[in-house]
């Protein structure tokens, strides 16, 4: 029994929507969960749904099957149905939250609800901020549609000269959303209320100021968004560098095939038809009627209101072994250090790099980068290290989906500052989170589960291990040597490395638990993952369950394993935790006959991670840290506030509390580390 990955992922996104529906969640955080849901859904459509559509057009004998045994043609209507259901729930939830906001004196108003003072403000705002960014495009039935990018929102404008709407004129306006021109604008309001308006509606208010040169009696605007196939393809011209191919591929992606047009259902048929026909989209094949507003991921950036309506921020805790204004390298030289972001501050990692950048005895820094922040402090520190005469080598993965353009920019910047940049291994995506700092007298390694990104580290719950263990440091050196020289044989003594050993190592660990269960020894497998879809590992876990191994899995996203099936997975339980922080850390714990083994890794249990990516995992060798990792899992397993039981596929039932006391694991973990800080 293997559940389909795409349907399972959509079920995960429904768990995000549940947070927006949960009245115990602070009101403005509920609104931001809607933004997260919308962003997730858009990316799914551009990547996963686009792939299903593409494969559905192949001849039956050439089309691969998806997890669960579906063909693309069988899967497509099921996915479309679930996407539509999600959008309907989104709209209903949004309306409910707006009503609750009004109870709190917060109103999202449109251009028809403004008083004179607010209209004057909006017109002034339009002329000063919005108007300079607008480029209206006139569209005609006989001319080609101007190019429209996805990730943007547009107004489709209709102008008519009489009530019979004869000889209408059509136009398109891209709605600008920038740091200087945000999606939401706070209006002058009375003391009793706070009014917010979409910039979309400020443009609607000022349509006459945009199209004053045309003769019309009626003018109206209807929002739409376009989504294109996000597949990135590179040509095979050997005369071009990878950067050149990437830049061309990104340009080609901009012009990807339109796959979905989401439009205001109030849009007149003639206006919709001219846009759809020029984009070669038909009803039933990518046209979705929606509400007045689109690209609702911008809800994540809704203006902050009263603190009582926001989630309470948790201040990052200090690690008990790292003192302020002291050498972090000296601490790591004496003992391993385990960090759990965002409970611990990501500044420790930045301090590690900064100290290495200026330490006279440090000779080289090696690092793998997948996603970095805008105006990245990590990038700046690596540049400073190079300026200080260190050898700095950066494996920068260009194929980090939707971050490719930024990574190309960073690649050029690093190389211009004297940093050696390599772009991975042919045929493999480098997704590992690995750093090696080599000092004259000692070397240090960092192995993590999350990106070296100071922005996302405030929201993503991830693990990181600092160590100077000689075997791990040697393994890190071997891995970087392999990345620089992919033709070389690679062999590690401690670190797990995919696509070479990690799959086999996990399979052997599971098989050992099966043997131990059969011989009456303690046998369990505990794992925390973002995604579990690899069919071979799932079948092996089913085998372990039938042998009596106790299997507990915390899977945030898609899970193709079906727990609690008679004679197959009765000893497997799976939960999923959705809360304020994005659960991104990966770990695996094995009973090992009573001598537990624990690992953290950058890889999920997906075929692509285990077979087609460079991923790194590390055993937790320090007994105290191993206990911490096990404690972390047990705390999260006890969650009965934000955990969902995945026993029934597609139904996000919350874990029952029973007689247990309430446990919200993210708060419990904060208190756990807070106590550790004081001790």
Active site residues: 431
CA diameter of the chain: 88
**Positions of E strands within 478-571:** 496-498, 524-529, 550-555
H helix runs in 434-529, sequence order = 470-484, 502-518
For residues 82 and 656, give the distance between their C-alpha atoms in angstroms, rounded to a whole number.
26
Q: In terms of Cα–Cα distance, which of 537, 515, 540, 510 is closest to 525?
A: 510
End-to-end CA distance of the chain: 47
Both tokens of 658, joined, read 């029973």
For residues 444 and 366, give the distance between their C-alpha atoms in angstroms, rounded to a whole number.
11
Name the strand (E) or helix (H) holding 429: strand 429-430
Both tokens of 128, joined, read 């000063």
Both tokens of 430, joined, read 């480098």
* Dihedral sign computed on CA atoms, order 238, 244, 245, 251: negative
For residues 674 and 515, give the distance between their C-alpha atoms in angstroms, rounded to a whole number.
39
21-30, long-range: CB < 8 A, 24+ apart: 21/89, 21/93, 21/96, 23/100, 25/311, 26/308, 26/309, 26/310, 26/311, 26/312, 27/97, 27/100, 27/101, 27/104, 27/309, 28/302, 28/304, 28/305, 28/309, 28/310, 29/310, 29/311, 29/580, 30/97
For residues 606 and 537, give the distance between their C-alpha atoms in angstroms, rounded to a whole number.
9
Name the strand (E) or helix (H) holding 271: helix 269-278
8 A C-beta contact, residue 117 and residue 188:
yes
List of residues 6+ apart from 444 with CB closer than 8 A: 329, 332, 333, 352, 356, 436, 437, 466, 467, 468, 473
For residues 557 and 597, give the distance between their C-alpha atoms in angstroms, rounded to a whole number.
25
8 A C-beta contact, residue 588 and residue 506:
yes
Q: In terms of Cα–Cα distance, which of 199, 204, 206 is closest to 222?
A: 204
Distances 477 to 166, 385, 495 between C-alpha atoms, Å:
73, 19, 11
For residues 487 and 484, give the distance between their C-alpha atoms in angstroms, rounded to a whole number.
9
8 A C-beta contact, residue 557 and residue 480:
no
List of residues 6+ apart from 676 with CB closer than 8 A: 320, 628
Q: In terms of Cα–Cα distance, which of 522, 576, 395 is closest to 16?
A: 576
Both tokens of 429, joined, read 């995506």
Both tokens of 18, joined, read 């549940």
8 A C-beta contact, residue 265 and residue 88:
no
**Would you say how long the chain is, in residues?**
679
For residues 660 and 499, give the distance between their C-alpha atoms in angstroms, rounded to a whole number.
42
293-296, long-range: CB < 8 A, 24+ apart: 293/198, 293/200, 293/223, 294/153, 294/223, 294/224, 294/225, 294/262, 294/263, 294/264, 295/38, 295/42, 295/151, 295/152, 295/153, 295/177, 295/225, 296/34, 296/35, 296/38, 296/90, 296/94
> b or e along 1-26 (b: 16 or more beta carbons within 10 Å of the residue's beta carbon)?
ebbbbbbbbbbbbbbbbbbbbeeebb
């Amino acid at each position: 029994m293997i559940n389909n990955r795409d349907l399972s992922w959509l079920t995960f996104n429904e768990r995000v929507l549940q947070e927006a529906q949960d009245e115990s969640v602070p009101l403005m955080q509920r609104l931001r969960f809607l933004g997260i849901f919308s962003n997730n859904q858009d990316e799914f459509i551009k990547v996963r749904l686009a792939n299903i559509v593409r494969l559905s057009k192949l001849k039956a004998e050439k089309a691969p099957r998806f997890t669960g045994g579906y063909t693309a043609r069988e899967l497509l209507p099921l996915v479309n149905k679930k996407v539509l259901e999600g959008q309907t729930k989104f709209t209903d939830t949004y309306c409910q939250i707006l009503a609750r906001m009004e109870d709190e004196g917060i109103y999202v108003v449109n251009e028809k609800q403004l008083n004179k003072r607010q209209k004057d403000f909006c017109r002034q705002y339009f002329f000063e901020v919005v108007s300079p960014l607008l480029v209206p495009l006139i569209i005609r039935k006989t001319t080609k549609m101007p190019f429209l990018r996805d990730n943007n929102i547009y107004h489709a404008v209709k102008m008519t000269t009489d009530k019979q709407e004869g000889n209408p004129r059509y136009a398109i306006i891209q709605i600008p959303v920038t740091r200087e021109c945000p999606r939401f604008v706070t209006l002058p309001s009375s003391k009793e209320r706070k009014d917010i308006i979409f910039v979309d509606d400020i443009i609607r208010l000022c349509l006459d100021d945009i199209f004053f040169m045309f003769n019309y009696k009626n003018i109206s605007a209807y929002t739409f968004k376009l989504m294109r196939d996000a597949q990135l393809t590179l040509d095979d011209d050997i005369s071009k560098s990878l950067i050149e191919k990437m830049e061309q591929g990104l340009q080609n992606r901009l012009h990807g095939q339109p796959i979905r047009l989401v439009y205001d259902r109030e849009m007149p048929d003639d206006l919709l038809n001219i846009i759809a026909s020029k984009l070669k989209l038909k009803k039933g094949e990518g046209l979705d009627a929606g509400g007045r507003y689109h690209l609702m991921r911008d809800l994540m950036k809704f203006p902050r209101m009263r603190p009582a309506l926001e989630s309470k921020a948790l201040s990052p805790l200090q690690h008990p072994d790292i003192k302020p204004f002291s050498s972090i390298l000296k601490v790591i030289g004496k003992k391993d250090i385990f960090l759990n972001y965002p409970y611990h501050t990501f500044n420790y990692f930045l301090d590690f790099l900064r100290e290495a950048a200026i330490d006279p005895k440090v000779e080289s820094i090696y690092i793998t980068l997948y996603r970095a922040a805008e105006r990245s402090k990590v990038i700046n520190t690596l540049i400073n290290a190079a300026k200080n005469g260190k050898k700095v080598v950066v494996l920068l993965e260009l194929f980090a989906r939707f971050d490719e353009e930024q990574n190309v920019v960073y690649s050029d910047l690093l190389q211009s500052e004297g940093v050696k940049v390599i772009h991975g291994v042919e045929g493999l995506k480098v997704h590992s989170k690995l750093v090696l700092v080599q000092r004259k007298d000692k070397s240090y390694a960092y192995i993590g589960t999350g990106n070296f990104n100071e922005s996302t580290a405030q929201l993503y719950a991830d693990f990181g291990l600092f160590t100077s263990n000689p075997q791990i440091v040697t393994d890190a050196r071997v891995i970087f040597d392999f990345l620089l020289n992919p033709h070389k044989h690679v062999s590690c003594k401690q670190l797990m490395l995919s696509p070479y050993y990690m799959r086999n190592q996990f399979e052997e660990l599971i098989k050992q638990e099966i043997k131990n269960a059969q011989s009456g020894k303690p046998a369990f497998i505990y794992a925390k993952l973002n995604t579990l879809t690899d069919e071979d590992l799932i079948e092996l876990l089913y085998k372990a369950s039938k042998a009596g191994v106790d299997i507990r899995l915390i899977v945030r996203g898609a899970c193709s394993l079906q727990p609690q099936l008679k004679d197959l997975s009765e000893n497997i339980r799976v939960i999923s935790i959705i809360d304020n922080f994005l659960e991104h850390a990966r770990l695996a714990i094995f009973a090992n006959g009573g001598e537990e083994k624990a690992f953290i890794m950058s890889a999920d249990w997906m075929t692509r991670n285990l077979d087609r990516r460079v991923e790194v995992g590390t055993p937790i060798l320090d007994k105290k840290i191993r206990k911490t990792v096990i404690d972390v899992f047990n705390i999260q397993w006890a969650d009965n506030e934000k955990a969902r039981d995945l026993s029934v596929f597609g139904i996000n039932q919350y874990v029952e509390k029973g007689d247990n006391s309430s446990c919200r694991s993210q708060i419990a973990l904060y208190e756990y580390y807070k106590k550790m800080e004081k001790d």
